[in-house]
Amino acid sequence: MQYPLLSRLFLSRYRTPGTPSIGMSSSQLKGIEEYNKKCESGEYSFERVPCLCGSSKSYCVGLACRYGLSTESHLCLKCGMLRTDPRPTEESLNKFYKELYGTIYEFAADQEVFDSELRVEQRYQEQKKRGEWLYQEIKSKLPTDRAPKVFDIGCNSGAALLAFKEAGCECFGCDLGVSSFERGRKEGLTLVEGDETALKQFGTADFVFLSHVMEHLPHPGATFNNIRGLLGDGGHLYVEVPGMLRFHTRAQGMMQYLQNAHLYHFSLGTLTDLARQSGFVRYKGSQLVSGFFTKDSKNTLPVCRHYLRPYLYLLYIFFVEILYKTRLLPAFMAAYFFARRGVRHMIWDIWGFIVRKKKNQG
């Protein structure tokens, strides 16, 4: 296969399936062995898919994921979306989530913690905290004349809903896996099995949120459409996904982020575009990625193109990885911040420091 220049540059680094780039437990390694067997025997089958924008023109920038599983990552030349292609068929994907996802991914979020109970508790507390933050961010937008209705799609234990419940909201959650429901239900949350359509029975919501769900979905556009149907007029949506323009923040760079279960790697631009096509307008967001949306008066809007930024960014992270390896990153970061803040700010900082010191002495 002939690869263009950017592809070749990246594949020199990301082309070795079989070698995990993160620490793994023995049960994870067993899960991976089983996964590879199922792929070889054809039990898990794969299909080629075009990008969400409809284009098939792309650069392959990686052949493996962080678990060492064979995973091709393609950067769309039209809209700048990074996607997994080929990906498991929907049937195989469901099988994978039921059979091996838990085994392979269980300890991945924190390599230090190899105790599953501790990990579950840690995740619960993390979600609870995230929910508290989210409530503070959105509370001014929620209706005050009645109890606001809040939906969490892909809710896990429902911990993120607790802050909303305490504030008097009506809270509902859905998830495909029900194993974590018990704890949330004990707290009095209504949690149901299924995707976002399972929440239709609870009426229209004032606020819907999804945290780290969109990147797993084979048809994220359809999910946005369904959510539009769930939201009442003036309703709000919050979506959080791992941001592809944040690859440089980890020492392993892109390798830390690539996972065979992530079918799409969004930037704020590509996520916003997808939401726009379902009639959402963004009013706040960051490259984490986190995006706050509200319903637009128009049903659908044309797509913008975000190709150049991801392309240049991928070149940039390659450069940052070299800096990590050569331990030159701190020097580079110092120079970067200096250039960014500008000499003027620096002088003001130093001046402020001298004044404070004089005051303290006085």
Binding site for Zn ion (CB under 5 A): 51, 53, 55, 76, 78-79, 81
**Residue placing its CB nearer to Zn ion in the complex, 76 or 214:** 76
Q: Nearer to Zn ion by C-beta: 191 or 245?
A: 245
CA dihedral 225, 194, 238, 160 (to 10 degrees): 170
Q: Please tell me whether residue 97 adopts helix, strand or coil conformation.
A: helix
Q: Closest approach of Cβ 302 to Zn ion, in Å?
A: 14
Give the helix ranges, DSSP H, for the chain: 5-11, 26-41, 90-99, 101-105, 116-138, 162-166, 181-186, 220-230, 254-257, 268-277, 308-325, 329-361
Alpha-carbon Rg for the chain in angstroms: 22
- Residue 21 and residue 16: Cα distance in Å, rounded? 10
Tokens 């009645």 sit at which residue?
Answer: 146
Closest to Zn ion by CB, 62 vs 131, is 62
Pick 127 or 277: Cβ nearer Zn ion: 277
Nearer to Zn ion, 53 or 159 (CB): 53
Q: Minimum distance between the CB of residue 77 and Zn ion, rounded to whole angstroms?
A: 8
Measured between alpha carbons, how far is 201 from 316 in angstroms, rounded to an integer?
47
Query: What are 141's two structure tokens?
Result: 């937008």
Cβ 50 to Zn ion, closest distance in Å? 8
242 burial (CB, 10 Å; 0-12 / 13-18 / 19+) is: middle
Q: Quick one: 199 or 268, whose CB is closer to Zn ion?
A: 268
**Minimum distance from residue 78 beta carbon to Zn ion (Å):** 5
Nearest distance, CB of residue 273 and Zn ion, angstroms: 9
Residue 194 C-beta: closest distance to Zn ion, Å = 29
